[in-house]
Amino acid sequence: MKKLLFFILYIPLLINAQTFEETMELFWLQHELEFQHQPIDHQFRSNDNDVLKLGDLIYNLFDIRKEEVYVLTINDGETTILETEDDIWNYDLLSQFRRTDDGTYTYRQTEGCSKLTSHIVLNLSYRTYDKSSNDNSNSKINGMLNIHLQYPSGTKSNAIYVQATFCHPPIKLERTKQGILPQPKCKSILLAYDYRSKKENIDEFKSIYNSAKEKLNKKDYDNLTYLERQLLLLEAHPDIQSDFYWGKKKYAESSYWDAILYFENVYNALTSYFWSKGLNDDDLFMLSESSFYIGMCYYDLGLHTKALKYIDFAKDINQSSYTYKKEYINCLIVMHDIRALSTIKRFSKEFHEIPEETRNDSGGLEYVEFLQRREIYSLIELNMLSKAKKLLDLYLIASPENKWAISELEYIQNLEKK
């Protein structure tokens, strides 16, 4: 089964793009796929002729009406303030991504908010009451909506996609009137800006997508085109294999934050599958590996508390893995966790209680020696020097020339002289 898993990991890498055009087309399809998977009331598109008004967005997503808008502050590298209802409501949310009259694109050169290229942050203040009302309630307080538009992705020949993140903080009186610790409402969606007609983009996407699904249902795998194969990989289980491979590659390159993103995709997908479909042995193996590598990434970044959580999880899934247990102990020790010494003794006892015929002997002797060394190290750190010396004496009886043991014994003798 492990050999089969090893082969599957490389399937996405064996399907290479034939042309640069196909590569760019796939780049666009990937983002359009995510856009199409949003709820229909979250799908907002714009182009050179149609304006995506801020008012349409906030009304559909947050039920904020035109008569309620109050002040809009726009930070796109410079600060602009709009204070009239019409200006705020009709504000062109994606104006930065329009082409100029000569057909060029300027957003790539735009220094946005906090000097992040093409990043825009909008702060909308709005009334939570009818301004013409004679109601004297204390709840007549303005609300706030924060909107962040990120640097776009996509292709200039088809469409680009802007990640829009909304944060809707609770208003003041919600803290006492609507329960304990009310939380802000957050939402993140993609906004599309079409550089050709909306119909062309949607028709082409649906043509490739539906064709791929039809061939898949008929098991007509040989006739799947490159783009159809890749589009299916984005949706189906094998994309987990791809993320797992790239996570290991990034980890080997010491790109730990990048590796975490890949491994978290695998971890989150498999834990979700566990509750809905269950996991087979190969899936459990990959879940434990992805969790372990997330932990190792955090360990190498010096975030040991986070590392311990994921390495502990991997250890519990695959209790026969000496590697997981060794790194778990290393993490406890570097954190000066009081459980380190008792955990080392428990692991040692568990190993020797396993019947020899069922014991995993691959790396077993190395694992036992590791436990011995870590126990001695922990005793020294805890200033339990006499116990550490007794274990070192036993260690040297078995291996009289062991340089590590001799060095540790000399270190203890120096400590005792102080």
> Domain limits of the chain?
38-196, 238-417
By DSSP bridging, strand 44-47 and strand 185-194 are: parallel
Whole-number pLDDT of residue 12:
42
Whole-number pLDDT of residue 232:
72
Whole-number pLDDT of residue 176:
55
Q: 72-116: per-residue pLDDT in tens? A: 999 988 899 999 999 999 999 998 888 777 767 766 667 788 888
Superfamily for the 238-417 domain:
Tetratricopeptide repeat domain (1.25.40.10)
Distance in angstroms (rounded) separating the CA atoms of residues 341 and 331: 12
Burial of residue 312 (number of CB atoms within 10 Å: 0-12, 13-18, 19+) = middle
pLDDT in tens, the chain (418 residues): 343 343 334 334 434 445 667 777 878 888 888 888 888 889 999 988 889 999 999 999 988 899 889 999 999 888 999 999 999 999 999 988 887 777 677 666 677 888 888 889 999 999 876 655 555 555 556 789 999 999 888 887 888 899 999 998 876 655 555 556 677 888 999 999 998 888 888 888 888 888 888 887 787 878 888 787 777 766 655 457 778 888 898 999 999 999 998 899 889 888 877 776 777 787 888 899 999 999 999 999 999 999 999 999 999 998 888 899 999 999 998 898 888 888 988 988 888 887 776 566 666 778 888 888 888 878 877 777 777 777 777 777 767 777 777 777 777 777 766 6
Whole-number pLDDT of residue 130:
60
Backbone angles phi, psi at 186, to 5 degrees: -120, 145
Q: Cβ contacts of residue 365 below 8 Å, gap of 6+? A: none
Whole-number pLDDT of residue 134:
59
Whole-number pLDDT of residue 274:
79
**Please, are residues 291 and 315 in contact by the beta-carbon 8 Å criterion?**
no
- Estimate the crossing angle of helix 226-235 against helix 238-252, to 10 degrees: 80
The whole-chain average pLDDT of the chain stands at 81
Q: Tally the residues of the chain.
A: 418
DSSP state of 313: H
Taking the whole predicted model, whether its pTM rises above 0.85 is answered as: no
Query: Helix, strand, or coil here: 75?
Result: strand
